[in-house]
Amino acid sequence: MSDKLTAWIAVLVFPCLASLPAPAADDATLSKDLTAVITAQGLRCPKVIKISKQAEADYLVACQDGSNYQIVADEQGKLVAHPLGMKIH
């Protein structure tokens, strides 16, 4: 995907992530937002099954297919997914 599209997605997603409270309905929104960040980078995550918030704009994400990512904001505030590995079956 183009850098412009990725930046546009991050501009839309980051404010949502920064202001999310803890209720379960917001967990579904957060899951969708983080999935969008991952797939916008051409990475694979068919379904988020676990989210661990480490700090503000810093998440560990486990996907149904065994993929794991750390999603953090870069210097410009754009969310970026970093692959952490795959489960060995």
Mean pLDDT for each consecutive 10-residue tract of the chain (89 residues)? 60 55 67 93 92 91 93 92 71
Q: Where are the beta strands (DSSP E) in 3-67?
A: 48-55, 58-63
What pLDDT sits at residue 5? Answer: 61
Report yes or no on whether pTM surpasses 0.75.
no
For residue 89, the Cα-to-chain-centroid distance in whole angstroms is 24
Rounded-to-5 percentages of helix, strand, coil across the chain: 35, 30, 35
